[in-house]
Amino acid sequence: MKQASENIVEIKNVSKSFKNVHAVNDISLTVKKGEYLALLGPNGAGKTTLVEMIEGLQHPDSGEILLLNSHWGRHKDFLHRAIGISLQETRFIDKLTVKETLMLFASFYSESSKRVDEIVELTGLQEKTRSYTVNLSGGQRQRLALGIALINKPGILLLDEPTTGLDPASRREIWRILLDLKEREKTTMILTTHYMEEASYLCDKIVIMHKGRILARGKLHELLSGNNSGEIIEFFPDNPEQKPDFSCLPGIRNIEWDEQSGKCKLIINEIVETLPVFMKHTHALGYTLKSLECRKMTLEDLFVEMTGRTFSENE
């Protein structure tokens, strides 16, 4: 199909509600060819709802979604062949082996057993081709799900939390496969994740979602620059009951007390500006610390500052 725009994915003012929940609220975004985009957000942010609308599995209440300048309502068959998807939860047929499962999906797209062999190699499942899917480990299941998503050589890959629950080594294995694809096939991808490290390591662009809306978007360094750039002084006081007022210190942007752990986080403009005054101030108050850490602001700090929530908190 002829492409009139370099945008592979175009989402224009898309909304979707379930009763009184605005799961996706007037979202617009674009993804260019070869770009990897992360939808990052806590539970209930609307990531799955948005991705499933892009996949044609759910329909927007309003707005428009175009993939390769095509519309689910008019070019369903074309789009089914153009995309590869892996859902948040994948169920396989227990009593099919890995190879049989891949052969089954290959047959849907008239792909040959040669393609199945390529997928087995790409996903590192050579040792498991004869194993029943029910006996696979979590990481192997995720790799099989990714293999199925890739079987039709999709130009657009849509992955909903491909590494959730995996140990760091299995997660890195999935990252390796995805980076390999980016380099070799110029695949375009939208991935949802709770992991900031995943978004920043894999993706060109990051979209932070919360309560159905986009809070911030851009490359990692863009997100952590300009008005959002900052540094952090973080400490555990000896006496968590004592909470002095630090708002009088120079360069203070925000103060967060974690009631459970007793930790205090000062978001500031510059450590060199605030730290000496902070030390004098605490000394004068007789306020002693168990530990103190100074560091640059991260994506998680930015997210907590914007929403008052961590990535892993539930609604």
Ligand X SMILES: Nc1ncnc2c1ncn2[C@@H]1O[C@H](COP(=O)(O)OP(=O)(O)OP(=O)(O)O)[C@@H](O)[C@H]1O
Residue ranges that bind Mg ion, judged by CB under 5 A? 47-48, 88
How many degrees, rounded to 5, is the angle at CA 68 between CA 67 and CA 74?
65
For ligand X, which stretch binds (CB under 6 A), given 6-14, 37-45, 264-272, 294-302?
Answer: 37-45
Helix, strand, or coil here: 76?
A: helix
- In the bound state with ligand X, the residue whose beta carbon lies nearer, of 133 and 192, is 192
How are strands ordered across the β-sheet holding 264-268? 252-257, 264-268, 231-237, 289-296
Separation of first and last alpha carbons in the chain: 42
49, interface contact from Mg ion, ligand X, none, CB < 5-8 Å by kind: ligand X
For ligand X, which stretch binds (CB under 6 A), given 18-26, 71-79, 125-133, 283-291?
Answer: 18-26
Q: Are 199 and 241 in contact (CB under 8 A)?
A: no
For ligand X, which stretch binds (CB under 6 A), given 17-25, 138-146, 241-249, 302-310?
Answer: 17-25
| Sign, CA torsion 5/6/11/13 | negative
Residues 6+ apart with CB under 8 A from 66: 7, 9, 10, 12
d(CA 227, CA 244): 27
Q: Is 48 in the site for ligand X (CB under 6 A)?
A: yes
Q: Is 151 in the site for ligand X (CB under 6 A)?
A: no
Q: Is 63 in the site for ligand X (CB under 6 A)?
A: no
Q: Is 23 in the site for ligand X (CB under 6 A)?
A: yes
Q: Is 41 in the site for ligand X (CB under 6 A)?
A: yes
CA distances from 99 to 148, 205, 226, 240 (A): 11, 35, 51, 57
For ligand X, which stretch binds (CB under 6 A), given 45-53, 90-98, 140-148, 245-253?
Answer: 45-53
Q: Is 251 in the site for ligand X (CB under 6 A)?
A: no
Q: Is 109 in the site for ligand X (CB under 6 A)?
A: no
Residues that bind ligand X (CB under 6 A): 18, 21, 23, 41, 43-49, 88
